[in-house]
Every structure is written in C-alpha cells, then in structure tokens.
Amino acid sequence: MFNFEFHNPTRIVFGQDRLKELNRLVPADAKVLILFGGGSVKQFGTLDKVRQALGNRNLIEFGGIEPNPRYSTLMRAVEVVRGEKIDFLLAVGGGSVMDGTKFIALAARYGGNAEDILTGKAKPAQLSAAVALATVVTLPATGSEMNSGGVISHQGGKFVFFSPLVFPQFSILDPTLTFTLPPTQVANGVIDTFIHTVEQYVTLPAEGRFQDRTAEGILRTLIEIGPATVADPSDYDARANLMWCATNALNGLIGAGAPQDWTTHMIGHELTALFGIDHAKTLAVLQPAVWTVCKEQKRAKLLQYADRVWDLREGSEDNRIDEAIARTRAFFEGLGVSTRLGSYGVAADRIDDVVRALETHGMTALGEKRQVTLEVSRRILEEAL
Amino acid sequence: MFNFEFHNPTRIVFGQDRLKELNRLVPADAKVLILFGGGSVKQFGTLDKVRQALGNRNLIEFGGIEPNPRYSTLMRAVEVVRGEKIDFLLAVGGGSVMDGTKFIALAARYGGNAEDILTGKAKPAQLSAAVALATVVTLPATGSEMNSGGVISHQGGKFVFFSPLVFPQFSILDPTLTFTLPPTQVANGVIDTFIHTVEQYVTLPAEGRFQDRTAEGILRTLIEIGPATVADPSDYDARANLMWCATNALNGLIGAGAPQDWTTHMIGHELTALFGIDHAKTLAVLQPAVWTVCKEQKRAKLLQYADRVWDLREGSEDNRIDEAIARTRAFFEGLGVSTRLGSYGVAADRIDDVVRALETHGMTALGEKRQVTLEVSRRILEEAL
C-alpha cells in the first residue's frame, strides 16, 4: 500500500425527507446564493422545498449553470457573490452545478485572474479562502458532493481543479429527489460511478486490499442495481444504493494508497469538448478500448476484476480478460448507452483532432505509469471507433 | 437503506515514516500533553521520535494509562491538563490510550462531575467543549483513531461514551510502529476488527449493499492476512492492511444506514470487568455463541456471510450457517485465541454474576431488534462455555 493522506470533512445527510434539515445545517444569519441548472429543480418543486426549509434567510437565486459548466457563466455568478456579499453557496443539482459552485466559491475570494484556478497557475496552496458551500444532490453520478474537485469548461477545453477549501460543508442525498430524472441521465450516473471506480482499481497490484474489495463492492452493486434503477425510477432501494455508491466512488476512499489511472476521463474530456458527447457516454466508449490497448500492463488487475466482479475463473487468462471487457461493454449497452464512437457520429477522420487537443492540454503521458503517450491515446481512439 | 448522517473529519496520515509530520500537524504554539500506556513506546523509541518531531513545543508527558483505562487514572491526567493549561492532547498508543485521551479531552472542559460523561447524564449536546486531540496509533484494533467514542472502566463496569468533539484532529497510522507488538496483541487486533465488522453486518437485511460489500471486504481481508501478520510482524503489507481495515471497521462507514447489533461487545465488557479477560478474547468467545443462539433472526445475513465471506454455497441453509460459524471459530483459534469461556477459567457457576452485571448496567435488551433479553444473554453465555 502506498503512503497516503485521507481527509474528508463533508457531512452527509442521507435519506428520505431530509431537505427540511437545511434549517439546522445552514447558519441562521447566512446570506445564501442558491445555484442550479435548468428548470427541473423548479418544475419538480425541489427549489420551493429548499426555499421553504431555509425560512427567512436572505436568499438569492442563480440558475442556468449548464452541463459542462462554462467559465463565463460561472464568472457571472462570481459577480453576484461579490456584489451581494453572499457568504453561503447552496448548489442544488448534479455534478455540473456542484462543480460550478466550487469554482465560484474559490474565484469569488481569489485576488488574481480566476483563470489561474483552471490553468494551475494558482496552486492549491495559494488559494487561501473560499465561500462556504453545501449541496443538495439531484443527480447521483460525479461524487462532487463529497470531494474537493471540479471540472470546468473554458475555451474549448475541460479543466480539472482541486482545493481542500471546496469540500462541501454538508451534502443532502435524498434518493427520492432523483425519481424524476430521465432514464438516460440515470444510466449516465451508473456509468460515471462505474468508471470512477475502475480508474482507481484496474491499474497495478499495490496490496491495497481494503481499497480493492471496496471498489469491487461498488462495481458489483452497480451491476446488480443498474438496470433496475434505470428501468424503475421509484425503486427507492436501488436508487439509494446508486446514490451512496456514486458518492463513495469518488470521495477519496478507494483511491487512498492505490495507483490511479484517469486515462479514460482525460481523453473523454476532449470528446465532450470537441463533439458535445455526454461525459458518461465518452467513458463508456473509451474504457473497454483503454483496457484492450493497455491489457499487458493491467493484466493482473484485469484478471482480478474478471474473477471478483464477473466471477470469471475458467479458461485462459486472455479469455477471462476479453470476456470481462465484453461483459463490461454489454453492461453499458444494456443501460442503453452505446460504447462505440461511431454511434456518436465520430469517425476515424476526427482522431487527429482529439490527439491534437490532448497535446494542447498537456495530456501526453496519462495512466498509472504515465504509459499512455499520444500514440497510445491514438490506438485507444482507433479501438473505440 | 435507513436514513443516516455520516460525518468524520479526522485526517488520516498513513504509511511509513510519517511521525516527522507531527511538526506540520500540531499547532506551533500548542502546549502538548503526550499520553501513553506502559513502557513500550519508550522502550522502542516511539516516544523519542514523537518528541523530536514536535521540536521546541512545550511538552509534558502522562504515562501509565492501563488497558481498559480507569476513570481514576484519567482524572489525574485531567488535573494535569487543567493545572498546566494544556491545549493539545497527543495519544501515543492503542485503543485504551486513545479512548482515555478522548475522555480526558471532554472531562477537562466539563463543568460538572465527570462521571456524568460515563453515565449519560451529560448528553452529547451538553458537552460543549473539548481539548483538541490527535493520535499516533501503535496497536491496530479499536478504530478509536477515527471515531468519536471511547470505553472507560469505572467501579467494576465498562462505560461507552460518544461526542463529536473527540474526533481526533488527525491520526498517524504507521504500520512499522506496530512491528514490535507481541503476537497475542496482534491476534487481538485482528479479532477486534473482525467483530466490529460483524456487529454492523450480521444483523438484518436492509438493502445497504455498499455497506455489506465493504464489510465483507474487511472480513475477507482479515481472513487473508490475519495469520500472516500474527506470524510475521515485519510483513509490511499484511500489517498495513490490518491497520487500515481496523480503522475502517469502526469509523462509521459500514454502519451508516445499516442495523447494528453490539450484543457481543456489551456482554464482553462484563467478562472483562469481572474476570479480566482481554477485550478481544471476550469477543472471540461470545460471537459464535451469539450467532448460534440468534440464528433464526440472523438467518438471512448469516447465509449471506457464509456465501460471500466463506464461499459456502452447497448444502442446506442450516449446514451452511453452522459451517460458517465453525470456520469463524477455527479462524480465531488459528490465531491462537481460545473461543471457549472455560479456557479463561470461567465455568457455569459464574454465569449468574455476568447476568447480574448486565442487569445492573441496563443491558437488558441488546441486539439489532432489542431481542437479547437477560434470558437470551444467559443462553449465549451457556453456549460459550
């Protein structure tokens, strides 16, 4: 096991009918900016319930945070925070709203050009303050509700940032708030959670047995409840298990002391930026291809994955690995998500564009051993066609 | 899944050579009381390294916290904290030192009679302050390094207390600091971790799939590495896995949203108080008996345990359950720990004393459904003879 530091101070308030506890959780004298995306939190009454729970606090709303939230949108919210002297941000939504809110929390207290937060010019240590924030989760997927990172779109790229200052103070996870999600978004959430897990698990053996077993537990749970929760939104237990798995897949727990990959995410970000493909769908397309191309390096963990997640113990090593990859692909397809680039209108002639974007963004040595050069990324994209 | 709240702000600093980071982690102007047990932290140089890392901070030592730490001992430390105006407590040791330090942290800031903290007269909400504390773990077992509870001995009983104020600010988990432990203490740590896990897992089905799978992962890991880490103290990976499992078995993760039992612990506390049997050994004696006596209520989870932890899928339900209990017993015995009360010099004629102690301490309705009356406890003790 590698040395590690683990610290996650976010308070999770999980279950049915928890919105009313906002009154206990948000400081009584806070001036609150409620952030959200499109109209669904209004349409389904979540915003009303949030406002009601917050009582007579001074509340301002900022809606319209888009999927793959844009720097320019978020900077408008930063102006509101500064102008209105907001001291508490409440994100009500999925990963985009939560990630955007984290960026706003940092940017509003950052003295320099806020683009520094995205480019890495502002190192975590230089970011010394952030507005307090919390979340109400309406889409289980990104794990943003219990971690210190976010992804922001700007000038044709997607940028990842981290700061311990943006751990949510609390996150309310009420599975019933997700019952109104369209099935495609639920399928995306299952796949996003699955890939977050394997990016920290199908790497190299490192004697992190608790981490491995916990990752395997998330994967088996997703396989068990994924189809059910896409098909039947009102199955509380299935949705609750998806929601709690999504949080634990990316709260630092399974990655602590373990090698991490993230190739699929980094190439996937370029596919979203260039072609507008949903984040989760880029992951479903790329992950089987990453495993096929990087099979030798990942052999030991792919065999473990085949054994412990898919119960594949017969046949040659290569057969077991190939079958595990095939079953993973079939699992994604069974959720209604295509795993081939072609299905999203991207053909071989666009691979050059993707490789160029990776180069522009410095993604020239990805993977748990920095083995994924631009040439390897090209092979992955070819395999994903 | 039940509704739950999960909040665990303790920072974990895990791995080799981490003691030097005390200088970063402890406030520079802190006046520190270093608390420890017997002489081993002196003998093996841990205390010297701690002092060295803390540099020129004002340091005072308080040694002699015994196993099953006593109220009277801890109240002497409270006098030191108050008299010397200590503002940071650093526990260097195992569960007894950590639990004792948590009690000291609360008692030193409590206005009333500190016995109230044990009897429950001082409800968590009334305990409004505690001295800051942190831990350096030398014995992986109790999980006290990442939770908000403790167990204190007083007037012939063992008392459990909880307060969110006593989460350690940080805990340093360096597996190499445990290499000098005697094998019996390591075996105790394996069993303590095992029983912490099953007390939150072998209960009733509640659709906590992540929690169940994570619990099963801890149990399988302990079965894999338990004998190795008892036999070979210098096997870093085995010890590291034990240490991280011990922490995760009782940091709230696997119990969040799940039914919990704790019968074995509550009866075990009386066996320690009356007969001086090591805490972990009382658990090894009682757990198979609890399962045998409560087999019907726990049937579904015992079958799941047999399947997922011991790979028992053939034969009748009763055969699988009995075999799982037998394998658990054999696992404990294989670590050198007897699972029969008689081996510790306790015969049938002392059962009345134990039942009377349970009654005195209000332990008249234990278990996940409060099904363990004094009569059921008696049957468990008879089964454990």
Q: What is the pLDDT of residues B125-140, one digit of tens each?
A: 678 899 999 999 999 9
Confidence tier at A358 by pLDDT (50, 70, 90): very high
Go through B158-188 and write b for each residue having 16 or more CB atoms within 10 A of its CB, e for each that does not: bbebebebbbbbbbbbbbbbbeebeeebbbb
Residue-wise pLDDT for A7-46, tens only, equals 999 999 999 999 999 999 999 999 999 999 998 999 999 9
Interface contact B361, partner A, CB < 8 A: no
* Chain A residues close to B218, C-beta within 8 Å: 210, 213
Confidence tier at B196 by pLDDT (50, 70, 90): very high
Inform me whether the pLDDT recorded for B30 exceeds 90.
yes
Query: Using alpha carbons only, how large is chain B's radius of gyration in Å?
Result: 20
Inform me whether the pLDDT recorded for A124 exceeds 70.
no
Mean pLDDT of A312-321: 98
Q: What is the pLDDT of residue B317?
A: 98
CB within 8 Å: A6 and B15: no
Inform me whether the pLDDT recorded for A226 exceeds 70.
yes
CB B273 within 8 Å of CB B157: yes
Residue-wise pLDDT for B275-328, tens only, equals 999 999 999 999 999 999 999 999 999 999 999 999 999 999 999 999 999 999
* Chain B residues close to A219, C-beta within 8 Å: none
How many angstroms separate the CA of residue A97 from the nearest CA in chain B?
A: 23
Residue A149, beta-bridge partner list: A162
- B11-177 shares its CATH topology with B183-383: no
Separation of alpha carbons A281 and A337, rounded Å: 7
Mean pLDDT of B183-195: 97
CATH class of A11-177: alpha beta
Residue-wise pLDDT for B109-120, tens only, equals 998 999 999 988
Residue-wise pLDDT for A168-179, tens only, equals 999 999 999 999
Name which of B6, B210, B221 is nearest A221 (Cβ-Cβ): B210
Question: In chain B, what percentage of residues exceed pLDDT 90?
Answer: 96
Inform me whether the pLDDT recorded for B123 exceeds 90.
no
Mean residue pLDDT across chain B: 96
ipTM of predicted assembly, 2 dp? 0.96
- Closest residue, chain B, to A254 (C-alpha): B214
CB within 8 Å: B213 and A225: no
CB A89 within 8 Å of CB A132: yes
Mean pLDDT of A72-80: 98
Mean pLDDT of B321-348: 98
CB B137 within 8 Å of CB B145: yes
* Chain B residues close to A224, C-beta within 8 Å: 209
Name which of B14, B253, B257 is nearest A4 (Cβ-Cβ): B14
CB A129 within 8 Å of CB A181: no
Q: What is the pLDDT of residue A206?
A: 97
Span A182-384 CATH architecture: Up-down Bundle (1.20)
- Segments making up each domain of chain B, as ranges: 11-177, 183-383
Inform me whether the pLDDT recorded for B86 exceeds 90.
yes
Mean pLDDT of B26-38: 97
CATH of B183-383, one of 3.30.70.3270, 1.20.1090.10, 3.40.190.10, 3.40.1260.10: 1.20.1090.10
Separation of alpha carbons A110 and A130, rounded Å: 8
Q: What is the pLDDT of residue B122?
A: 85
Q: What is the pLDDT of residue B124?
A: 66
Rounded to the nearest 5°, which phi and psi values hold at A185?
A: -70, -35
How many angstroms separate the CA of residue A24 from the nearest CA in chain B?
A: 13
Rounded to the nearest 5°, which phi and psi values hold at B365?
A: -155, 75
Go through B2-29 and write b for each residue having 16 or more CB atoms within 10 A of its CB, e for each that does not: eebebbbbbbbbbbeebbeebeebbeee
CB within 8 Å: A241 and B8: no
How many angstroms separate the CA of residue B193 from the nearest CA in chain A?
A: 13
